[in-house]
Amino acid sequence: MTPATVTAPKQTRSKTATTARPGGFAGNLLRVDLTRGKCWAEPWGPERMRAELGGVGLGAMILYRETAAKGGKKNVAWDHPDNRLVLGTGPLAGLPVWGTGGLTVCTIGPGTNGPTSTQANGFFGTNLKYCGYDAIVIQGQSKNWVYLYINDDVIELRDAKSLMGLDTWETQYALNRETGLSGHQLSVYSIGVAGENLVRFAAIQGDFGHVASKNGCGAVMGKKRLKAVAIVKGTKALSAADPRGVIQAAEDMSHDLPTWPRGRRRSCARTSITAGISATRAGCTTATCRSSATATSKARSSTSPSTRAGPAAAGRSARPIATASPGSTPSATRRAST
């Protein structure tokens, strides 16, 4: 275990320091240098917050400023220690607005060896904001496998040897047991065996099923020998400039999305097609729902299972299909059909 003291540099009195911080931001970036095993808090000013917002905007600017190769014409390679892995949030994360607590990953990805961004849901962003940080900026490469543990002002790079070879769900279960926390109290994003072995399309997965998958960002995490990031739900408060306005806007969105004609048609059509249910059962009478449900019903009734499975399966349809006779068991039916 390597404890890392988080310190904030002294702020000089300037226009940036006296400008009011926009609501919704925690006010700090967490910097992690895996090569040196050090972590520190870095304040970022209101002007940057308004210009970059967080998430992709913040991550893209960090990549632009900090990953340029010598000469400034290209970026460093994805496996270079100077590559950055930015795990960011947006200004709404941690506020009572549904769907805003996820994660944005920005890095130089191995698929294109260029800048990339990808998003995942979950509650990573909410937990990070409650610990006092708007994003994590990771640089360098660790000599040994570690995972990053964050609990308010307690920041530690812990030994990850016991986690090696585990998939992402197993990793989360292991960290739940180690910390004694579960559910929303601990958000874990990690890599599995693919990321450990630098597979170029490896993903970062967390909170039991959410995936940041584009451009092999999991391989970048593996190259840095960072197995996981575990964030305890912190205790620091967030405030919005207009709390009532934020709550009202969130309620308006939750009402308007399912009742907005275009959104309703898309949602119901997708449900009808994938589930193959009727518009009546879906509780919707829009033309799109009726037509999609009718088309799905006709397709299912006019095609045999072998035809729907494709030409290869259709060619096997001449084989006798076993049927269950009275008193027969499912296992006996399966044996008869093979």
When the pLDDT of each residue in the chain is averaged and rounded to a whole number, the result is 80
Q: Which residue has the tokens 């340029």?
A: 68
Would you say residue 121 has pLDDT above 50? yes
Region of 167 on the Ramachandran plot (φ > 0 left; ψ -120 to 50 alpha; else beta): beta
pTM given for the model: 0.73
CA atoms within 13 A on the CB side of 67: 30
Q: For residue 4, what pLDDT band results from cuts at 50, 70 and 90?
A: low
Query: Looking at residue 125, what is its pLDDT?
Result: 93
pLDDT score of 109: 97
pLDDT of 254: 83
Quickly state the pLDDT bin for 293 (edges 50, 70, 90).
very low
Please give the pLDDT value at position 56: 95
**What pLDDT band is residue 327 in, cutting at 50, 70 and 90?**
very low
For the record, the structure tokens of 111 come out as 């698929």
Q: Is the pLDDT at 145 greater than 70, yes or no?
A: yes
pLDDT above 80 (res 2)? no
**Of 124, 103, 132, residue with least CA distance to 234:** 132
- Is a pLDDT exceeding 70 seen at residue 36? yes
**Residue 253: both structure tokens together:** 């969105």
Residue type, 68: A
- Domain coordinates in residue numbering, the chain: 2-8+17-232
What is the rounded distance in angstroms from the CA atom of residue 247 to the CA atom of residue 245?
A: 5
User: Of 28-32, 48-52, 70-74, 181-185, where does mean pLDDT reach its minimum?
Assistant: 70-74
Q: What is the model's pLDDT at position 255?
A: 82
Query: What pLDDT score was predicted for residue 226?
Result: 98
pLDDT at 22: 87
Q: For residue 130, give Cα distances in angstroms to 30, 93, 118, 124.
A: 13, 9, 22, 10
* Residue 297 confidence (pLDDT): 46
pLDDT of 323 above 70: no
C-beta separation of 88 from 55 below 8 A: yes
- Over residues 79-103, the pLDDT tens digits come to 999 999 999 999 999 999 888 888 9
Which of residues 332 and 291 earns the better pLDDT score?
Answer: 291
**More confident site: 172 or 302:** 172
Residue of 17 and 40 predicted with greater confidence: 40
CATH superfamily of the 2-8+17-232 domain:
Aldehyde ferredoxin oxidoreductase, N-terminal domain (3.60.9.10)
> Residues 79-106, buried b or exposed e (16+ Cβ, 10 A)?
beebbbbbbbbbbbbbbebeebbbbbbb
What is the CA angle 249-250-251, rounded to 5?
A: 90
Instruction: Give the pLDDT confidence score for residue 185 in this predicted structure.
Output: 96
- How far the first Cα of the chain sits from its last, in Å, is 55
Q: pLDDT tens across 226-276, in order? A: 999 999 999 998 889 899 999 999 998 888 877 777 656 555 544 443 344
* Ranges 5-14, 16-25, 114-123, 200-209: which has the least confidence: 5-14
Write down the pLDDT at residue 256: 81
